[in-house]
Structure 1
Amino acid sequence: MKMINLSTLLSFWLVLLLVAFLPVRSLSPSLNDDVLGLIVFKADIQDPSQKLSSWNEDDDTPCNWIGVKCNPRSNRVTELNLEGFSLSGRIGRGLLQLKFLRKLSLARNNLSGSISPNLAKLESLRIIDLSENSLSGFIPDDFFKQCGSLRSISLARNRFSGKIPGSLGSCATLAAVNLSWNQFSGTLPGGVWGLSGLRSLDLSANLLEGEIPAGIEGLNNLRSIDLSKNRFTGHVPDGIGSCLLLRSIDLSMNLLSGSVPHTIRNLSLCSYLNLSMNSFVGEVPGWIGELKSLEALDFSVNNFSGQVPESITNLKLLKVLNFSANGITGSLPASMGRNVNLLVLDFSQNSMTGDLPGWIFKSGVSQVSLSEYKLGAKLSNIISALPGASLQKIQVLDLSHNSFSGEITNGIGALSSLQFLNLSRNSLIGPVPGTVGELKALEVLDLSHNLLNGSIPVEVGGASSLKELRLNANFLGGKIPTSIGTAFSLTTLIISQNNLSGPIPAEIGKLNNLENVDLSFNKLAGTLPKQLANLPHLLSFNISHNNLQGELPAGGFFNTISPTSVSGNPSLCGAAVNKSCPAVLPKPIVLNPNSSSDSISGELPTTVGHKRIILSISALIAIGAAAVIVVGVISITVLNLRVRSSTSRSAVALPLSGGDEYSRSPTTDANSGKLVMFSGEPDFSTGAHALFTKDCELGRGGFGAVYRTVLQGGRSVAIKKLTVSSLVKSQDEFEREVKKLGKIRHPNLVALEGYYWTPSLQLLIYESVSGGSLYKHLHEGSGGNHLSWNDRFNIVLGTAKSLAHLHQTNIIHYNIKSSNVLIDGSGEPKLGDFGLARLLPMLDRYVLSSKIQSALGYMAPEFACRTVKINEKCDVYGFGVLVLEVVTGKRPVEYMEDDVVVLCDMVRGALEEGRVEECVDQRLQGKFPAEEAIPMMKLGLICTSQVPSNRPEMGEVVNILELIRCPSEGQEDMG
């Protein structure tokens, strides 16, 4: 017997009751159908904002209800628009009663469940918009078979799966179809090309695969097609050039190959063409200049070669031009100066040469970006947002990551609206032009990794809005100008790896917004200004490898500065460099016994008789202080011995009758401590004395050792003995945070089962995961016993899901590495060691200590010192390194005999040279799909971006991984 949905049953009874007891009205029975249908629809809906409070079953007509429109003559409902009403629940059968409904919009709600197979069969219905909900399930294959007069349907941003119904091709009246951002799979039904009235088709961000079928030339009215973010393969059909009304084409982020169809040259109305992130080859076609209507052209992240064709000049309306991450050579054509409407220019990650294009400073470019490709950027959105072109309005100029040469022109000062200037990683020579100080709107200036010489111009202080100044890795000399102290907005000052000399200006101490400072690898001398200790927001301050001397400033950030940030300065002293400073004491005050006066002398006369020893006041104070210190040392030693004895007794005295706060009160005793098991299991069957033996030890990490033991019921658990007791919060705070962590459950997270507390000993009790760590599988496996490609992909995806879940609950892992990813018996990953940042308030200072140096390869660059801001993007960086480690099988940092190989740099270099496939683990040779491995490595590089804001959220990472995953025949057998 089938179970009947409760809400459906209630709706059915409601209809019967309304029919039976509704009072007789003078209105026609057909009108009552609309009232009843909407009331039945409402019965299946939850309305937390009470938006539908005006819907009253006693009304004679629904025409005055919110969201409802009627035909004024017949009083029949023709439109139901409940967009953005915060509704939840299911779409019931009540809507099928609205026989004259023309438009249905339930977009931007939280509706769930499936949709009625008869919805599209309402004869009068013209528009269906169910986008941005949580609808799921398959679309019945005959959904569109009797679609009446349906002209537009949008099911975008839901959770529909299965194949796109083949009946879609039989709905001849359709003009707009949007099924984007779902989980539709399989091939594109060829019948779609028979919809001769179709004007817009959007199937982007699904799991569609196979080749784009032939026959698209039948869509004579097509204006827009978007098949991006799928798994389409093969060539683009030549027939696309026959759709002469096409204005927008987006085929990006697929696996398409071959050359660009020459028939596209016929699309004279096309204004938007995006073929990015595919595998197209050959030179950029010269006929591209025939597309006179083009406003955006994106060929980025492909395998195009050759030079930029001169015909680009003919594109007078061009606003966006993106050829980044290809094999483009040569220089930019000088004739491009005639593209006066250009707003965005991106040729990053190519092999462009020649001097900086002078025409850029004369044209109407508003934004010139040759920097790294931003995943997910929608250029059509950029076009609509950017202002009209004007030289005075240029805001972003980014020509980084090429081989441009020559000097930086003083003309840069004329760009008065410039906010972002990045010319890094080129071969530029000459001085930094003083005209940069005229850029009052400039917020970021990055000229790093060039061949610049001369000094830092004093005019730089005039850039009053400057927030980031990066001049590192050049040949700049001279002193740091004191005028830097007038750039009050500065948060980042990176001028390392130059030839700067002289002192560090005290004026830097006035920059109260400073967060990150790197002056390392220069020739700076003198003492550090005391004013630096007053900087309230300082996160990192690297002065290593200079000639600085004297004592570090006392107070503030400098009380906890990392030793690595001050190393390489032999004359520096203080706790951070483990070198005491020479005592600077006043001259002793002594009484001269040979003097007849009462005067006080600053020297001891040479004629002192009888060898009398006269002590100065400061000496007496020093002796007294020494005595106090000796007594203190002895006292602390005795206390430590007592504490160790107490700790030992506490470990042995783990209570055998611990409690569960959810079932009964746990035992608390000053001698035995407090044990809480969330599951209610009372104690350890082995006894506490066996917990911390070498035989039970599973491993050691930065925060303590992990042991295995058995509960009384026979279930194995893992126990982490925290070795950072001095950093742990008070008992109340510790227990509160641990209980929060104990409630977190996810299939890919190691579950916290309980805890044990004494002031000197804290234990965290976790579920036991039997399969060992990912690190051991990757780096300590033997012979053919290694992870297959499917194993690796599933581990990466599962780890991403666990991190996304943690971030949704406002928990930052902080210590992502392969040894913290455990593999269970079924091969599923389980991420452990999460939430410790909530237990240890000083974790950010502790994490960079020598105890967890193994995690340094996973650390984001913003961890330049101990005091750092912890945020989710730090986890994303560590995850990116983990992705590269899983795909390549190499450690994040590998130390060779005469070299150090950083994994991120190695993969990034291989990508730029077109040999990224060689980076895949040799043990997988011939047993991995390149169409998954290469995008995954690109994703890893994006996650390890140097700029935190450029890294995606973990939820986005999960979506990208699911798009990358493309099951194919025989793939299960790989590896």
Structure 2
Amino acid sequence: MRSLLGVFIFICFSPFLVKSLSPSLNDDVLGLIVFKADIQDPDGRLSSWNEDDDSPCNKWVGVKCNPRSNRVSELVLDGFGLSGKLGRGLLQLHFLRMLSLAKNNLTGSFILSFSQLSDLMFLDLSENGLSGSISSDFFSQCGSLRSISLARNKFSGPIPESLSSCSTLASLNLSGNQLSGKLPLGIWSMIGLRSLDLSDNMLEGEIPKGIEGLKNLRVICLRKNDFTGEVPDGIGNCLLLRSIDLSQNSLSGGLPSTMQKLSLCSDLVLGKNGFTWEVPEWIGEMRSLQTLDLSENNFTGQLPDSIGKLQSLNILNVSKNALTGSLPEAMSRCINLLALDISHNSLTGSLPSWVFRLGLQQVLFSDNRLSGSIEDAFTSPVENSQKKLVILDVSQNKLSGLIPDAVGDFGSLQFLNMARNSLLGSIPANIGRLRNLSVLDFSDNQLKGSIPSEMGGLTSLDELKLEKNLLEGSIPWSIGNCTSLKSLYLSHNEITGSVPASLAKLSYLQIVDLSFNKLNGTLPKQLRNLVHLQSFNVSHNQLEGDLPAGGFFNTIAPSSVLGNPSICGAAVNRSCSTVLPKPIVLNPNSTDATSSTIAQTLGHGKKILSISAIIAIGAAATIVIGVIAITVLNLRVRSSMSRSAAALTFSGGDDFSHSPSTDGNSGKLVMFSGEPDFSTGAHALLNKDCELGRGGFGAVYRATLKDGRSVAIKKLTVSSLVKSQEDFEREVRKLAKVRHVNLVSLDGYYWTPSLQLLIYEFVPGNLYKHLHEGSGENYLSWNERFNIILGAAKGLAHLHQMNVIHYNIKSSNILLDSFGEPKVADYGLARLLPVLDRYVLSSKIQSALGYMAPEFACKTVKITKKCDVYGFGILVFEVVTGKRPVEYMEDDVVVLSDMVRGALEEGKIEECADGRLQGKFPAEEAIPVIKLGLVCTSQVPSNRPDMAEVVNILELIRCPSASQDETGDFR
């Protein structure tokens, strides 16, 4: 067997000898073996590549040869899961015509040279992790190259001027990289070019003139760059153009009139620019248009009648402009129209009836000034074959009249929004026939009557919004049949009756807002079984009694039940009066000795106490005595605390050194390392000026050692729940051994039966304050945020490796040292409790609202490390978006995880990033990080990754461009 190392040396240092080899030992075999040696093949896809074979042409996977010369002509390894760098072995394949390594994990810089691969015609390295700049002479000898794709890698720097020498190139795709600078002036000299895609880069400057030279150009895509200036007039002379996408740039001015000559163009996408003037009348001459997107520009005036000539048009999007006037009636001739979006303009007039007769699938008319009766638009009969409507949004207009019954005939509807109009009357009962409906929004109108029971037929409904109307009657019991419902908004109506227990059947329910109604009675106890519940607002009603015990209701915010004078419980800080059972009157003629003894008369001997009454009185007495005892004990503890803190005798030394004192006043101190003597220790424990903060397990104070070093001292306030001294010390010693650069180290502890202290290293910064309390100018950059996420993940992964569950992940427990390095704090404190009862834990960490995994509310689901993974996912959202996990608005609750998940579904996930970071972060990092957070917050614990996997994924996401953040490119 040949030595692989020998083969490598042979190829690299004896190229002339290699070329003289006989066909039985050709350089194709050697080149491919060396290529394989430079990469990793985790799935073993290249196992058929055997270095002992004389030729790769017969059975090597992904290899094809020219049957005449028996030399490798094609190497296609798309999606093989390969990683590593492109080695020089490929340069030995002198007869290669096609090289495709797309959809792998290849990294490093680009080493291929067309001077050595002179026969290469097709090159595809898309969807890898290749980086660095494209060398200036890369295209200088492109020979017979016809197609090249380097799309979706991490290439940076300018596009080389040598590109203009590739006169035979027909397809060029450099999209999805980080290329910058201006387009080469000679780019239009590639007369054979048919397809050009430079989208999703950072290119700038004006689009150079001379494009009319590309007579063969069919497709041009410059989307999502920073091009400025006007569209060159010459584009209209590229008569073969089928698709033009210049969206998401900074182009301005009007559209060049020469474009009307593009009679073959089917897609014209110019959205998200700064185009002005009116939509030109000549647009109707582009008769082949199927997609016309002029959205998010500055077009003014009316839509021209000539749009009616575009009978091939499928999609028309002119949303977010400054258009006025009414929709031209001529548009009714666009018989193939499927999607019409005119939202966010200033259009007037009525809702045209032809919209529904054409058989459109999407009608988006929101945020305009449309008026008149909505019923009129449904007066003309619509054939069943034309009832294809999937999305209807006419919200935020001035429409009036009744909601027409005909709406219920569009059985394909999935999204129906008529909110913020002036609609009258009642909700049509036949709405319940829309079995595919997922969103129904009639909010902010003047609807009256009751909610029809037929609503129970909406089995696909995710979101029901009827708030801010004049609805009466009760919530129908049939609402429990809407088994997919996640959000229910009925606030600000006149709804009466009780909250139906059938709501408990809605197992996916997350947000409920019934506030500002006239609901009465008690809340059904079954609601505690709603494990996904995140918000339940019943404030300002007439409800009474205790809240459901367990689940979400253990941590419900007081504001959610405000304005119900008869509601009692911990959430409103109002105790519930005990209702004793009806006394059992003992038989006065009984000879039972026990009965005679228990039965005692009061007053005149007519009132007899039952056994249950006696037990209740005894229990009440016990509680009273307990309260008095605890009060006295607390006073004694406070007194002893000051004596104990002042009397602390610290002895330094190595691991687990402690004071020998066993005196009740001094207690037992153990320091694991360092000099223990405090300069202001006792004073700090009693002085609120030294308090750093409070959490579910106690307050934290800052103290100073005699050597000037600061420490943080946590004074536990869970003495009644803390284990015995022996168990307490054993658990603390375990936590002290959990050391990591991203964990706050535990340096010691102090024990008395009434006072327990934990001594930690002092870390000055706090992530919560940086995110939510910092000044607008002093915000965290993307690079800092990514490092915090990665560091926190590493800290948690180490905890889990040591079999420690944190239980209390939140931004205030992520501390930042003077170098900005994150350190996870407050870990493992639940281990100090005798029983890890989830309801005790919930009460202790209720400040972590929004971070708690749904299994905390379910007795049958085990609490595991995956709870920490869920909290970490919420933390990721908080760091990237800069928003709190749950934010309470004036009449709404925004749940961060829902907001992010919704943005993903709408394709707007990039918009989730903190507004202070807009344009100052690499989307190729931020979007995968957000998606990782979504995976971590899966409702099913087994679907969440382990923290070690999270760390690996984050390290893969990190791209070289992130380092630019430190030099100011992203700030």
Structure 1 length-normalised TM = 0.74
Q: Give the corresponding residue for 1:147.
A: 142
Q: Give the corresponding residue for 1:463.
A: 458
1:191 pairs with 2:148: no
Q: Give the corresponding residue for 1:76.
A: 71
Q: Counterparts in 2 of 1:431-580, with a 5 A limit?
A: 431-580=426-575
Residue of 389, 393, 400 corresponding to 1:398: 393
Change (3 A) 1:962 1:304: farther
Q: Per-residue displacement from partner, 1:362-407 (whole Å, max 9, x unpaired)?
A: 32222334679xxxxxxxxxxxxxxxx9644433333345554444
Structure 1 Cα separation of the partners of residues 416 and 74 of structure 2 = 51
Structure 1 Cα separation of the partners of residues 273 and 781 of structure 2 = 26
Change (3 A) 1:219 1:931: farther
Percent identity between matched residues is 49
Q: Is residue 650–residue 672 contact of structure 1 (8 Å, CA) maintained in 2?
A: no
Residue 196 of structure 2: SS of its match in structure 1? strand
Q: Give the corresponding residue for 1:159.
A: 154
1:799 pairs with 2:760: no
Q: RMSD of aligned C-alpha atoms?
A: 5.5
Change (3 A) 1:20 1:162: closer
Residue of 294, 299, 302 corresponding to 1:307: 302
Residue of 681, 701, 716 corresponding to 1:689: 681
Residue 351 of structure 1: SS of its match in structure 2? coil
Change (3 A) 1:893 1:116: same
Residue 423 of structure 2: SS of its match in structure 1? coil
Q: Give the corresponding residue for 1:42.
A: 36
Q: Give the corresponding residue for 1:106.
A: 101
Give how far 1:639 is off: 6.3
Residue 428 of structure 1: SS of its match in structure 2? strand
Change (3 A) 1:343 1:114: same
Structure 1 Cα separation of the partners of residues 296 and 645 of structure 2 = 61
Q: Per-residue displacement from partner, 1:889-908 (whole Å, max 9, x unpaired)?
A: xxx9999xxx99x9x9xxxx
Give how far 1:345 is off: 3.1
Which range moves more in the overlay, 276-285 or 768-777?
A: 768-777
Q: Per-residue displacement from partner, 1:625-677 (whole Å, max 9, x unpaired)?
A: 12322343355457657877589959957774465xxxxx898999657767x
Structure 1 Cα separation of the partners of residues 622 and 155 of structure 2 = 75
Q: Is residue 141–residue 165 contact of structure 1 (8 Å, CA) maintained in 2?
A: yes
Which range moves more in the overlay, 323-332 or 493-502?
A: 323-332
Which range moves more in the overlay, 37-46 or 865-874?
A: 865-874
Structure 1 Cα separation of the partners of residues 716 and 615 of structure 2 = 38
1:700 pairs with 2:693: yes
Residue of 235, 239, 262 corresponding to 2:234: 239
Structure 2 Cα separation of the partners of residues 966 and 279 of structure 1 = 28
Change (3 A) 1:197 1:347: same
Give how far 1:135 is off: 1.4
Q: Is residue 554–residue 843 contact of structure 2 (8 Å, CA) maintained in 1?
A: no
Give how far 1:110 is off: 1.6
Q: Is residue 783–residue 965 contact of structure 2 (8 Å, CA) maintained in 1?
A: no
Change (3 A) 1:467 1:340: same
Q: Counterparts in 2 of 1:374-773, with a 5 A limit?
A: 391-590=386-585, 614-634=608-628, 636-637=630-631, 652=648, 656-657=652-653, 659=655, 682=674, 689=681, 697=690, 699-700=692-693, 719=712, 721=714, 742=740, 744=742, 752-753=744-745, 760-762=756-758, 765=761, 767-768=763-764
Q: Is residue 253–residue 276 contact of structure 1 (8 Å, CA) maintained in 2?
A: yes
Structure 2 Cα separation of the partners of residues 675 and 272 of structure 1 = 72
Q: Is residue 94–residue 116 contact of structure 2 (8 Å, CA) maintained in 1?
A: no
Q: Counterparts in 2 of 1:284-299, with a 5 A limit?
A: 284-299=279-294
Q: Is residue 148–residue 171 contact of structure 2 (8 Å, CA) maintained in 1?
A: yes
Q: Is residue 711–residue 759 contact of structure 2 (8 Å, CA) maintained in 1?
A: no
Q: Counterparts in 2 of 1:62-141, with a 5 A limit?
A: 62-64=56-58, 65-116=60-111, 118-119=113-114, 121-141=116-136
Q: Give the corresponding residue for 2:260.
A: 265
Which range moves more in the overlay, 70-79 or 58-67?
A: 58-67
Which range moves more in the overlay, 145-154 or 403-412?
A: 403-412
Residue 516 of structure 2: SS of its match in structure 1? coil
Give how far 1:277 is off: 2.1
AA in 2 matched with 1:617: I
Change (3 A) 1:648 1:340: farther
Change (3 A) 1:97 1:338: same
Give how far 1:228 is off: 1.8
Give how far 1:272 is off: 2.0
Unaligned 5+ runs, structure 1: 1-6, 373-388, 602-606, 660-664, 745-750, 780-785, 885-891, 905-927
Structure 2 Cα separation of the partners of residues 577 and 350 of structure 1 = 46
AA in 1 matched with 2:784: G
AA in 2 matched with 1:13: I
AA in 2 matched with 1:270: C
Q: Is residue 735–residue 746 contact of structure 2 (8 Å, CA) maintained in 1?
A: no
Give how far 1:169 is off: 0.9
Structure 2 Cα separation of the partners of residues 427 and 949 of structure 1 = 43
Give how far 1:718 is off: 6.6
Q: Give the corresponding residue for 1:329.
A: 324
AA in 2 matched with 1:269: L
Change (3 A) 1:813 1:558: closer
AA in 2 matched with 1:475: L
Change (3 A) 1:646 1:438: same
Q: Give the corresponding residue for 2:9.
A: 13
AA in 1 matched with 2:89: G
Q: Counterparts in 2 of 1:905-916, with a 5 A limit?
A: none
Q: Give the corresponding residue for 1:174.
A: 169
Which range moves more in the overlay, 553-562 or 176-185?
A: 553-562
Which range moves more in the overlay, 250-259 or 581-590?
A: 581-590
Residue 282 of structure 1: SS of its match in structure 2? coil
Structure 2 Cα separation of the partners of residues 734 and 328 of structure 1 = 68
Q: Is residue 41–residue 92 contact of structure 1 (8 Å, CA) maintained in 2?
A: yes
Structure 2 Cα separation of the partners of residues 300 and 685 of structure 1 = 69
AA in 1 matched with 2:460: S
Q: Is residue 121–residue 144 contact of structure 1 (8 Å, CA) maintained in 2?
A: no
Structure 2 Cα separation of the partners of residues 16 and 460 of structure 1 = 75
Structure 2 Cα separation of the partners of residues 835 and 202 of structure 1 = 51
Q: Is residue 324–residue 345 contact of structure 2 (8 Å, CA) maintained in 1?
A: yes
Structure 1 Cα separation of the partners of residues 414 and 768 of structure 2 = 50
Structure 2 Cα separation of the partners of residues 934 and 576 of structure 1 = 41
Change (3 A) 1:657 1:875: same
Give how far 1:104 is off: 0.7
Give how far 1:723 is off: 6.3
AA in 2 matched with 1:689: G
Q: Is residue 352–residue 403 contact of structure 1 (8 Å, CA) maintained in 2?
A: no
Residue of 244, 247, 258 corresponding to 1:249: 244
Give how far 1:471 is off: 1.0
Give how far 1:123 is off: 1.2
Q: Give the corresponding residue for 2:900.
A: none
Give how far 1:512 is off: 4.0
Structure 2 length-normalised TM = 0.74
Change (3 A) 1:132 1:767: farther
Q: Per-residue displacement from partner, 1:409-430 (whole Å, max 9, x unpaired)?
A: 2211111122222333444333
AA in 2 matched with 1:263: T
Q: Give the corresponding residue for 1:358.
A: 353
Give how far 1:879 is off: 5.0
Give how far 1:270 is off: 1.9
Structure 1 Cα separation of the partners of residues 395 and 332 of structure 2 = 19
Residue 316 of structure 2: SS of its match in structure 1? strand
Give how far 1:125 is off: 0.4
Structure 1 Cα separation of the partners of residues 415 and 852 of structure 2 = 21
Q: Which has the higher contact order (CA 8 A, sep 6+)?
A: 1
Residue 363 of structure 2: SS of its match in structure 1? strand
Q: Is residue 792–residue 823 contact of structure 2 (8 Å, CA) maintained in 1?
A: no
Structure 1 Cα separation of the partners of residues 241 and 830 of structure 2 = 58
